[in-house]
C-alpha cells in the first residue's frame, strides 16, 4: 500500500461514489476500481460494500480513510512546500473555481489577483463549490470563487458581486415567450408558477443552484418538470438555445453570451439573489490581500 492507494480510499469514502471519486482524482472509473480490488487482495479484507445507488466503506475501509486522510494531506503539503523552495520567486497558490465560473470570469480574476500579488504562480483547480469549500478548509486549496451560501463558519467569505437568478426562454418557444412577455408587461418580475406546466432543463439535484431553484419553485407551490438534468450551466444554456425547454441561470451568463435568440426574465421571488464570493481561511485572506482582490474582480465584472 502506498500514498496513492490511501488517497484513492479517502476520496471514495468522501464521495460515496466511484464515479465522482474518479473525477476528483482525474483517473478513469475502471482504473480506480481495479486499484481498490488490488488493494483489497493485498490486505486480505474488503474495503467497500457496493450496491446500485452508493458505495459504503467497510470497517477496514473507514479505518483506512479516517487515519489515512491526515497522512495524505501532510504529504501533499510537504510536497508543495519543498517544490516551492526551489522556486522562491514563483510561489504557487491554488485557486478553486467551477468550470462555469472559470469559463466566464477566470481571466478577470487572474488579472485582479496578479495586480495585488506579483511573482505568484496560480494553479487552477476545477470542482463544485461543496468540494472546493472542503478543500480550502483542509488546506488543499488556498482560496476559491463560488456562489453562497458557505457552510463552514471557519472560512472567511468576501462578497465579489451579487448574482440574480433569471428565468431563461428561447424566443422560438412561442407559448412560453408570449406568456412571459404578457406577465412582464403587467409587472417587471414575473410569477413563475405560471410556467409550472412547461418542461425545464435543470442542474442535477445535488448541486447548489438546483437546490435554490427547487426552493424558488416550492415557494410558488410547484415542482419543475425536468426533462434534462446536467452538471454544467453552459449545457443548460445550450439546450435552451436549441429550444428543448426553459431554465434558470445566473445573470453572469447573460453578461458573457451573445443573444442567441434567448430572453432573460426577472422572477418574482425573494430567493432569486445570491452573492458570488471569494472564500479562504482568514490568514490566507490577509496574506494574499483577498479583500482588495475581491473588490477589483467585482469592479471588473460590472464593466461591459
The pLDDT of residue 171: 94
Q: Report the distance separating Cα 196 and Cα 141, nearest Å.
A: 41
CA distance 300 to 111: 10
pLDDT, tens digit, for every residue of 127-158?
888 889 988 988 888 999 999 989 888 899 99
Place of cell 483542509: 138
297: nearest Cα among 250, 232, 252, 234: 252
How far is it, in rounded angstroms, from Cα 93 to Cα 27?
24
pLDDT of residue 88: 46
Q: What is the pLDDT of residues 272-301, one digit of tens each?
A: 999 999 999 998 899 889 999 999 998 888
114 contacts 85 by C-beta, under 8 angstroms = no
The pTM assigned to this predicted structure is 0.68
Query: Is the per-residue pLDDT at 260 higher than 80?
Result: no
Measure Cα distances from 304 to 252, 262, 282 in Å. 12, 19, 32
State the Cα–Cα distance between residues 219 and 267, nearest whole angstrom.
12
β-bridge mates for residue 166, sequence order? 249
Q: What angle do CA 238, 241, 247 make, to 5 degrees?
A: 80
pLDDT at 258: 59
| Most confident among 1-15, 42-56, 268-282 (mean pLDDT) | 268-282
**Rounded to 5, what percent of the chain is helix, strand, coil?**
50, 25, 25
Write the CB contacts of 189 (distance below 8 Å, at least 6 apart in sequence): 266, 267, 268, 269
Q: Minimal CA–CA distance to 193: which of 167, 230, 163?
A: 167
Name the pLDDT band for 86 (thresholds 50, 70, 90): low
Q: Tell whether the model's pLDDT for residue 79 goes beyond 80.
A: no
- Residues with Cβ within 8 Å of 91's Cβ and at least 6 positions away in sequence, in order, are 84, 119, 120, 121
**pLDDT tens per residue across span 224-250:** 999 999 988 989 999 999 999 999 999
Amino acid at each position: 500500500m502506498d500514498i496513492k492507494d490511501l488517497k484513492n480510499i479517502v476520496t471514495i469514502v468522501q464521495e460515496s461514489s466511484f464515479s465522482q471519486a474518479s473525477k476528483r482524482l482525474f483517473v478513469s472509473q475502471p482504473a480506480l476500481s481495479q486499484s481498490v480490488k488490488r488493494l483489497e487482495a493485498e490486505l486480505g479484507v474488503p474495503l467497500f460494500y457496493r450496491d446500485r445507488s452508493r458505495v459504503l466503506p467497510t470497517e477496514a475501509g473507514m479505518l483506512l480513510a479516517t487515519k489515512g486522510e491526515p497522512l495524505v494531506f501532510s504529504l501533499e503539503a510537504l510536497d508543495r512546500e519543498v517544490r516551492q523552495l526551489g522556486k522562491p520567486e514563483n510561489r504557487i497558490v491554488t485557486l478553486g473555481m467551477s468550470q462555469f465560473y472559470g469559463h466566464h470570469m477566470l481571466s478577470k480574476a487572474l488579472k485582479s489577483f496578479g495586480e495585488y500579488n506579483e511573482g505568484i504562480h496560480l494553479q487552477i483547480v476545477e470542482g463544485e463549490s461543496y468540494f472546493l469549500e472542503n478543500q480550502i478548509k483542509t488546506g488543499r486549496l488556498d482560496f476559491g470563487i463560488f456562489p453562497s451560501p458557505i457552510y463552514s463558519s471557519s472560512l472567511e467569505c468576501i462578497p465579489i458581486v451579487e448574482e440574480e437568478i433569471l428565468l431563461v426562454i428561447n424566443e422560438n418557444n412561442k407559448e412560453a415567450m408570449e406568456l412571459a412577455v404578457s406577465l412582464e408587461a403587467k409587472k417587471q418580475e414575473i410569477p413563475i408558477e405560471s410556467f409550472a406546466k412547461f418542461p425545464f432543463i435543470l442542474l442535477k439535484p445535488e448541486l447548489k443552484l438546483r437546490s435554490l431553484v427547487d426552493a424558488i419553485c416550492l415557494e410558488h407551490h410547484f415542482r419543475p418538470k425536468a426533462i434534462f438534468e446536467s452538471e454544467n450551466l453552459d449545457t443548460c444554456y445550450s439546450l435552451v438555445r436549441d429550444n428543448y425547454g426553459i431554465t434558470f441561470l445566473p445573470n453572469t451568463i447573460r453578461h458573457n453570451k451573445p443573444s442567441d435568440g434567448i430572453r432573460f426574465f426577472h422572477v418574482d421571488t425573494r430567493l432569486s439573489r445570491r452573492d458570488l464570493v471569494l472564500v479562504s481561511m482568514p490568514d490566507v485572506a490577509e496574506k494574499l490581500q483577498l479583500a482588495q482582490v475581491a473588490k477589483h474582480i467585482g469592479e471588473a465584472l460590472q464593466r461591459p
